[in-house]
Structure 1
């Protein structure tokens, strides 16, 4: 895709910051983050399918989704702490196989000239080691794949304004 993911993981801090531009309006990029059917079509690596078990994108709502790759399943869950339409998401994120590691994540959606959007975010981990484990397990590639799939999803589904 034409807009690569930028990811920064400072060596001595338990966080990760990322940014990705999209050639689609803020509303469309945000919508794809909060509508369960849309979310399932783009989240994660290209070689997984996603099942949404629960998805309540409102302040205080929760979510759970499962990635499947062959007979293997990987479940994730969390709570939406703040949802501001077309602007901001604050949520927790937990890989159910590692319940000791819950991250606090925020995403900001910023309008760019020409009807484009910049997504920026930060994930705060309990430790540098837990963050590094996620990175070692392919998180950057999975994010990049997912955002490329989001581009494809938005191109197929057009703008909803």
Structure 2
């Protein structure tokens, strides 16, 4: 397995299936971390790399709902969309994820929130794509730094 670690964020590319696994612990209760992933007013404050502006077109985070958001940087817009297949408060979100720049590359994502002692939460997110090339392209796109930077902003949001 390929693994990189910065602070508490661990990003692992599975060698056997085209999957990326992200593990991160937060100093906040599971309900608060879940809300930060499901409330569009909060999602827009932390998601994505530093230096981007986020705009949410719609974000209906419920079983059967859908979403679309746009990241704007340097005059360029990058759209993302998907469907929520299962949303179970406060522990699970299963969704699809598509970067509109590569519309055939749909990922199936699962986010699990585990309650830890001391009011902490462990997030485990998996993204499964249809090929190793797709997965490696996903990693090469700067996803790793965007995830780490976003989670640092999420830390600050959860602490506030």
The CA distance in 2 between the partners of 1:21 and 1:3, in whole Å, is 10
The residue correspondences of 1:113-128 to structure 2 (distance < 5 A) are 113-128=117-132
Partner of 1:31: 35
2:114 is equivalent to residue 110 of structure 1: yes
Deviation at 1:139, TM superposition (A): 0.6
Partner of 1:92: 96
Partner of 1:18: 22
The CA distance in 2 between the partners of 1:94 and 1:53, in whole Å, is 15
Partner of 2:3: none
Question: Which of the pair is proportionally richer in strand?
Answer: 2
Report the TM-score, using the length of structure 1 for normalisation: 0.93
SS at match of 2:110: strand
Partner of 2:45: 41
Name the Cα RMSD after superposition. Answer: 1.1
Deviation at 1:155, TM superposition (A): 1.4
CA deviations 1:84-135 (Å, max 9, x no partner) are: 0011000000001110100000000011000000000111001010010011
CA deviations 1:32-68 (Å, max 9, x no partner) are: 0000000000000011110000100000100000001
The CA distance in 2 between the partners of 1:49 and 1:5, in whole Å, is 23
Q: Name the structure, 1 or 2, with higher relative contact order (CA <8 Å, separation 6+).
A: 1
- Which piece of structure 1 moves more, 101-110 or 4-13? 4-13
Deviation at 1:3, TM superposition (A): 4.8
Report the TM-score, using the length of structure 2 for normalisation: 0.94
The CA distance in 2 between the partners of 1:3 and 1:10, in whole Å, is 20
